[in-house]
Amino acid sequence: MRRSIGAALILTGVVVPAHADPLDSVLQRIQPTRAVFLLRQAGDPPAGALTISGRFTIEKRITCREIANTVLMELRMTAGAQSESMHGEYQDAETRNGRTLRLSNRVVMGDREMIREAVEVTLESREGPGGARISGAKIEALKLEAGTVLPGTHFLSTLAAALEGTRYFEQRVFIGTSEARTVSKRVTILARGRAATAAGLGEFADKPGWSIRTERVWPSGAMSGQAQSDDVFLTEDGVTTYFTLRFMAFELIGTPISIEKLPKTDCLG
């Protein structure tokens, strides 16, 4: 169960040549950032129940070739008098045309390495088909069906839907960091609004954007049939200012300690 929690948390999470790709204009909006979030459990868990707390550091950079994400996760899981730490490191780089992805994922529980994987994906187009190679405890080769997208494409599709006023859409996304490898993501744009005004948001406080809910539907038998969803506030320039993650019996809230604007790459020079 704890391995599944780590895999779910590390996801929480987000291209094209200049011709006719409809997501190109969305990509130009994205503001690279480095954000630090404090993670706490919602409500007041019963005495002795497993509780989770910690922090995430999430960095998004965009180069002339790739969208790159780095996530560092430091968690403390406590049940009664017992406590254990979890450390996670996740990195990915997806080409701007959404056709190739490289990612690495490492999770350490206490002093035991639980997960160490490297993944390479190649799609024939932004929406597949294609294949993936996973190197970890064992070597896996997977065929990916047409209609499968990579995480960067899904992120851009979410922002595009919000900008266009689309209320709901669904995509099958290759995530690579769970037993399932792919998951159906059902996205609902809940409401337009403005970011909070908390001090940790800096210049992203009170920015316009949307409250968005994503439900993850795992393939039959995968992830023990567990439901998962998250709510985020996403600004018009693609910056997450708040999130709530629901997984199994847990509801975890991420609030920003700091969000730092990173420079944009000038690909026209």
269 in a domain, yes or no?
no
Task: Tell me how far apart the alpha carbons of residues 128 and 4 are, in angstroms, rounded to a whole number.
Answer: 27
Q: Which domain holds residue 220?
A: 2-261
Domain count for the chain, please give it. Answer: 1
Mean pLDDT score, 236-247: 92
Q: Which one is predicted more confidently, 236 or 267?
A: 236
81 in a domain, yes or no?
yes
pLDDT in the model for residue 220? 65
Mean pLDDT of the chain: 87
219 in a domain, yes or no?
yes
Mean pLDDT score, 140-153: 94
Identify the band that residue 15 occupies on the pLDDT scale cut at 50, 70 and 90.
Answer: very low
In tens, the pLDDT along 93-125 reads 999 999 999 999 999 998 899 889 999 999 999
Picking from 142, 118, 146, the residue whose alpha carbon sits closest to that of residue 132 is 142
Buried b or exposed e, range 97-106, using 16+ CB within 10 angstroms: bbbebebbbb
159 in a domain, yes or no?
yes
pLDDT at 9 over 80: no
135 in a domain, yes or no?
yes
Mean pLDDT score, 40-64: 86
pLDDT in the model for residue 56? 92
Supply the pTM of this predicted model. Answer: 0.86
236 in a domain, yes or no?
yes
Distance of CA 231 to the CA centre of its chain: 12
205 in a domain, yes or no?
yes
pLDDT at 223 over 70: no
> What DSSP letter does each residue of the chain carry, written as one string?
-HHHHHHHHHH------SSS-TTHHHHHH---EEEEEEEEESS-PPTT--EEEEEEEEEEEE-SSEEEEEEEEEEEEEETTEEEEEEEEEEEEEETTSSEEEEEEEEEETTEEEEEEEEEEEESSTT--EEEEEESSSEEEEEE-TTEE-HHHHHHHHHHHHHHT--EEEEEEE--SSSSSEEEEEEEEEEEEE----GGGGGGTT-EEEEEEEEEEPPTTGGGG--EEEEEEEETTS-EEEEEEEETTEEEEEEEEEEEE-PPP----
Q: Which one is predicted more confidently, 251 or 157?
A: 157
pLDDT in the model for residue 25? 87
pLDDT at 18 over 50: no
